[in-house]
Amino acid sequence: MTARDGGYVRGRHKIDDYGGGGFRFADMSHRGSILALPSGVRAVPLTSAADIDEAIIDGALAESGGLDIFVVGTGQELLPLAPGPRARLRAAGVGCETMATGAAVRTYNMLVDEDRRVGALLIAV
């Protein structure tokens, strides 16, 4: 993604690879963290799970068009999602799975293959 496109790629895309501080998807690479939704993939300015707040969750929910499950990749290791963001997802009726980013990428891709309404917030590793 580039500044030219506002850090946004339309459409649903599986994550082809991760590591080295970024991700590969949609025949391109991006350095940094991403938010992957059915509507598109966008860059997000997060560097750790501690940066995830209610505002990022509210934005994801508003943009998603409705999700059944939201996968959070917290970086190299599993870290808990703060109570505030988790409560926002629960109030919206969206299930949340938190795991290390590698596991989150694999889970997200599997759910996309199953044509599930899934979103993912992935902290770069």
CATH assignment at residue 108: 3.40.1230.10
Q: Which domain holds residue 99?
A: 3-122
pLDDT of amino acid 65: 82
Q: What is the pTM of this model?
A: 0.93
pLDDT of amino acid 64: 84
Q: Which residues contact 61 (CB under 8 A, 6 or more apart)?
A: 67, 88, 89, 92, 94
Q: Do the Cβ atoms of 15 and 35 come closer than 8 Å?
A: no
pLDDT of amino acid 4: 39
| Per-residue pLDDT in tens (0 to 9) along the chain, 125 residues | 443 355 789 999 999 999 999 999 999 999 999 999 999 999 999 999 999 999 999 999 998 889 999 999 999 999 999 999 999 999 999 999 999 999 999 999 999 999 999 999 999 99
